[in-house]
Structure 1
Amino acid sequence: MVTVLQERSGQRVLDRGPVRKIRVAGRTLTLTPVFDTYWRFAAARQKVYEARLAGGAGPFTDDPILQRYRFTNCFRAADRVSQDLIGGVIYRGEQAWEEVFFRTLLFKIFNKTSTWRLLNGALGEVRWDAYDYRAFDRVLSQAFTAGQRLYSAAYIVPPPQLGEQRKHQNHLRLLEMMMKADAPQRVLSAPTLQDAYQVLLGFPAIGPFLAYQFVIDLNYAAEMPFSEMDFVVAGPGARDGIRKCFGPAADGIEADVIRYMADTQDEHFARLGLAFAGLRGRPLQLIDCQNLFCEVDKYARVAHPDIAGISGRSRIKQTYRRQAVVMPAWFPPKWQLNGPPEQ
């Protein structure tokens, strides 16, 4: 096969045949077999998503790893919790930006739809202009005492030390602090997505990964003007996946690697003969490519057990369980993906 390096948009890629090396951020990266698995996984996982939306009986794939284990969707906004956030929190209720900000971060701190429903059921419409710490704490403390899980295990939101005893109490105080420090307006008036991220990063217990996840969530709202192609932060899982694709030579340039994946997705899907139409025509964004590295890290634990990441994890914890509830597929209207409303 011909393996001639050509210049393309400041990055060098192989013209035809199996890709062996790429050049990103001034470094030459030698690719492992996991690199092509990244694209094959994305195409296969998106087909599963599309088949489920179409209402098929399943199984939706003949890939034994996808059949057995649970993986998130290729597009972050298509995941169930993101769908609950977009359709049930951000675009439902008072649309004043301060209220949207408050609802979004309250939901995401717990990242669990049942906790959001608990608060709404007990307190009525959740609003900042009617917020009462004691009322919120009473509902959450009663549920906690009864053994109800308040937080998702998807990612850990460390509790800030703000003088309260329980985790959820300190998180309520953190949200109060953000609202009183004018975080909603500071985020909205930020000139770039990265500047908005920096606002969130300045609050206790919100590290780089959480600040990035939160700003992406806020950016689903109508008022936020930024593109998901503006800025990316690689989380721990993504760094593991990047290590498996490129080895240690990619350490420290993870954001550049993620941008490379987003910028070159069409040519790699075509090179491998993979059909990938995106999310109703929307290509993978930086946040989606970041998330895919997390999922490919997990997939490679079974598919490529000989290729090591950073964490050393060797098993996939969550197995796939089909849910009977119909999965929604409604996206921020500003993306223009939803089509005309049903009559």
Structure 2
Amino acid sequence: MTGSHKKYNMYMSKHAKWLKMVEYEFLKEKRIDRIINAKSLDEVYNILIECTFLGEFLAYQYMTDFNYSPVVNFDENTFVKAGIGAIRGIKKCFIDLGKYTYEDCIRFTQDNLLKYQDLYGFNSFKNLFGRELKLIDLQNCFCETDKYLRVKMPEIAVDNIRIKQKFTKPKSKIDFYFPPKWKINNKIKKCNIENSQELILF
């Protein structure tokens, strides 16, 4: 986060500040063009982290969102950045990192996933319609691990122990879908139809 907050102090609301940041830094300073023409995921990340209000976590999340679109298209396994929640989860899973980084732990998990599934009897694990877990997925898994353990095993607290938000079920129906480039949305529709038929038979 290298931008200056001062130039946005004239705007009262956080919403207005962010919109102006997008206008100035993405459009007028043509960062969006740089993102479109980037040669790698980490280059997209480094462009985003230059922006005011974007720290490491948001830069990585927005980089991932860009890469889910048809505009940016890089291998998801070429770059990962551990967020705060994932770091807490990693600390609860690894006793001593030694010389390795949190990102190394995520890559280690991906490289050894099948090995540990077999070792601990999780052979029934099903991936997402043939789509294997990516680094971003495992980063998210460590973050969720931290959340679950804060409730189930508070005695192994690391850093933050408070759950800041509770899940609230949306009032309206959400039509979920995956990035079209994954080519699995047709499988979701088929799965939903089959599940509906099973419920009717039941």
Shorter-normalised TM-score: what interval? 0.7 to 0.9
Correspondence list, 1:47-66, <5 A: none
Is 1:336 aligned with 2:183? yes
Is 1:281 aligned with 2:130? yes
Is 1:160–1:204's contact at 8 Å kept on the other side of the alignment?
yes
Separation (CA, whole Å) in 2 of partners of 1:180 and 1:273: 54
Q: Residue 172 of structure 1 aligns to a residue in which SS?
A: helix
Unmatched segments (≥5 aa) in structure 1: 1-158
Deviation of 1:330 (Å): 1.7
TM-score by length of 2: 0.79
Which residue of structure 1 lines up, in the alignment, with residue 60 of structure 2? 212
Is 1:241–1:294's contact at 8 Å kept on the other side of the alignment?
yes
Separation (CA, whole Å) in 2 of partners of 1:250 and 1:327: 44
Is 1:174 aligned with 2:29? no
Is 1:290 aligned with 2:177? no
Q: Residue 97 of structure 2 aligns to a residue in which SS?
A: helix
Residues 160 and 245 of structure 1: CA distance in aligned 2, closer, same or farther (over 3 Å): same
Residues 166 and 321 of structure 1: CA distance in aligned 2, closer, same or farther (over 3 Å): closer
Instruction: Give the aligned residue type for 1:278.
Output: N
Instruction: Give the aligned residue type for 1:303.
Output: K
Residues 324 and 264 of structure 1: CA distance in aligned 2, closer, same or farther (over 3 Å): farther
Is 1:197–1:212's contact at 8 Å kept on the other side of the alignment?
yes
Is 1:160–1:171's contact at 8 Å kept on the other side of the alignment?
no
Deviation of 1:318 (Å): 4.2
Instruction: Give the aligned residue type for 1:186.
Output: R
Instruction: Give the aligned residue type for 1:187.
Output: I
Which residue of structure 2 lines up, in the alignment, with residue 304 of structure 1? 153
Is 1:247 aligned with 2:89? no
Is 1:229–1:285's contact at 8 Å kept on the other side of the alignment?
yes
Which residue of structure 1 lines up, in the alignment, with residue 75 of structure 2? 227
Residues 160 and 296 of structure 1: CA distance in aligned 2, closer, same or farther (over 3 Å): same
Separation (CA, whole Å) in 2 of partners of 1:211 and 1:320: 24
Separation (CA, whole Å) in 2 of partners of 1:167 and 1:320: 24
Separation (CA, whole Å) in 2 of partners of 1:181 and 1:319: 38
Q: Residue 257 of structure 1 aligns to a residue in which SS?
A: helix
Is 1:228–1:287's contact at 8 Å kept on the other side of the alignment?
yes
Separation (CA, whole Å) in 1 of partners of 2:61 and 2:97: 26
Instruction: Give the aligned residue type for 1:266.
Output: L
Per-residue CA deviation, residues 118-174 of structure 1 (Å, 9 max, x unaligned), is: xxxxxxxxxxxxxxxxxxxxxxxxxxxxxxxxxxxxxxxxx9431322211111110
Which residue of structure 2 lines up, in the alignment, with residue 263 of structure 1? 111
Per-residue CA deviation, residues 298-325 of structure 1 (Å, 9 max, x unaligned), is: 11123322223133x1x44544555564
Identity %: 37
Instruction: Give the aligned residue type for 1:167.
Output: K
Deviation of 1:294 (Å): 1.1
Unmatched segments (≥5 aa) in structure 2: 191-202
Q: Residue 194 of structure 1 aligns to a residue in which SS?
A: helix
Residues 280 and 250 of structure 1: CA distance in aligned 2, closer, same or farther (over 3 Å): farther
Which residue of structure 1 lines up, in the alignment, with residue 45 of structure 2? 197
Which runs of at least 4 in structure 1 moved beyond 4 Å after TM superposition? 317-327
The structure having more radius of gyration, on CA atoms, is 1
Q: Residue 284 of structure 1 aligns to a residue in which SS?
A: coil
Deviation of 1:211 (Å): 0.7
Q: State the aligned residue count.
A: 182
Q: Residue 170 of structure 1 aligns to a residue in which SS?
A: helix
Separation (CA, whole Å) in 2 of partners of 1:185 and 1:276: 40
**If each structure's helix is expressed as a fraction of its own residues, which one has the higher value?**
2
Per-residue CA deviation, residues 158-199 of structure 1 (Å, 9 max, x unaligned), is: x94313222111111100011111112101111110001111
Q: Residue 310 of structure 1 aligns to a residue in which SS?
A: coil
Residues 321 and 193 of structure 1: CA distance in aligned 2, closer, same or farther (over 3 Å): same
Q: Residue 117 of structure 2 aligns to a residue in which SS?
A: helix
Instruction: Give the aligned residue type for 2:97.
Output: A
Deviation of 1:326 (Å): 4.3
